[in-house]
Amino acid sequence: MAPYLGDIDRYMRSLEASRRPRDDYIWTTQEDINPKMRAVLVDWLVDVACTFRLPADTLHLAVSYVDRFLTTSVIKRHELQLLGVTALLVAAKYEDDIFVHEVQRYRGVTGNTYTAQQVVKMETDILKSLNFEMGSPTARTFLRRYITVCRGRDRAKAEKLEFLCSYLAELSLLDYDCIQFNPSVVAAACLFLARFTISPTAHPWNLTLQRNTKYKVSDLKSCILMIHELQLNGTYPGLKEDAVKVKYNDRELEGVSAMASPKNMPPHFLKNIRR
């Protein structure tokens, strides 16, 4: 596998660029949807994914489907939940059939607001809108590779870092402004923040991480600050729901959402590392 890692990384980075949603679609394409509505939907999808025991990869892929669909297709606010739950169904089918549930179960989590026919039609609309290009790297895709660079002999510490990165990545899904960043950038920013949260006095970045992620701190700064704000708040600003925070407060996930992160980050941490 090692000889091909560079080729795989280049392919994934080209794919993330070509299949990214437009970061202005709410302002240029949609007329009845705003960022807070999107945040409410994503928070709800986190809850549904937990109920169905879907992997985090499926959740991330579903949210990417939602954003890509909304880039080109105009819908009304009452259709947003239908889009979200159907995107989750499509992502579950793409990821692994073992996690697929009957359409009726997806209808059920919406309180049977939509008919089975509406779900099936929305599934068709999503597939057509995405040109059947369902594979797309998410922040989870890149996090798996980045975290291997940080794994040491301390297994417990490595697990906590992984859970914390996953928590921050799911928080980033809530914020519409985060889609301006490629998933590889979001993943690197989450790794930076997780390391800072665990060891606030140690510099979160180093030349090894820079070389493996291909990002300098200056490339990540805006994304780091945006996700750090979400971490301090525990959810999207003004959003009453906090499904992501509740999910990662579980003992099996080391309760990482309860970990306090310093409000202020030392300015020199946000400067590029000198060789």
Q: Does position 153 have pLDDT exceeding 70, yes or no?
A: no
User: Does residue 9 lie in a domain region?
Assistant: no
Phi, psi of 168 (to 5 degrees): -65, -35
Q: Would you place residue 1 in the very low, low, confident or very high pLDDT band (cuts 50, 70, 90)?
A: very low
- Band of residue 116 on the pLDDT scale cut at 50, 70, 90: confident
- Between 108 and 152, where is the model more confident? 108
Number of folded domains that form the chain: 2
Average pLDDT rounded to a whole number, residues 51-69: 94
Task: Please determine, for residue 99, whether its predicted confidence score (pLDDT) is greater than 60.
Answer: no
The residue range of the domain holding 63 is 20-129
- Whether 135 has a pLDDT exceeding 70, the answer reads yes
Whole-number pLDDT of residue 114: 85
Residues 122 and 151 in one domain: no
- The gap between the terminal CA atoms of the chain, to the nearest Å, is 29
Q: Based on the domain organization, do 103 and 214 belong to the same domain?
A: no
pLDDT at 2 over 80: no
Q: Is there a single domain that holds both residue 106 and residue 196?
A: no
8 domain residue, yes or no: no
- Residue 231 corresponds to which tokens in the numbers above? 């971490």
Nearest residue to 66 via CA among 105, 47, 38: 38
pLDDT tens for 189-226 read 999 999 999 999 999 999 999 998 999 999 999 999 99
Do residue 266 and residue 148 come from a single domain?
A: yes
Do 245 and 167 share a structural domain?
yes
Residue 3 lies in a domain: no
Residue 146 and residue 123 in one domain: no
- What pTM was computed for the model? 0.92
Examine the domain organization and report whether 193 and 80 are in the same domain. Answer: no
Confidence of residue 154 (pLDDT cuts 50, 70, 90): low
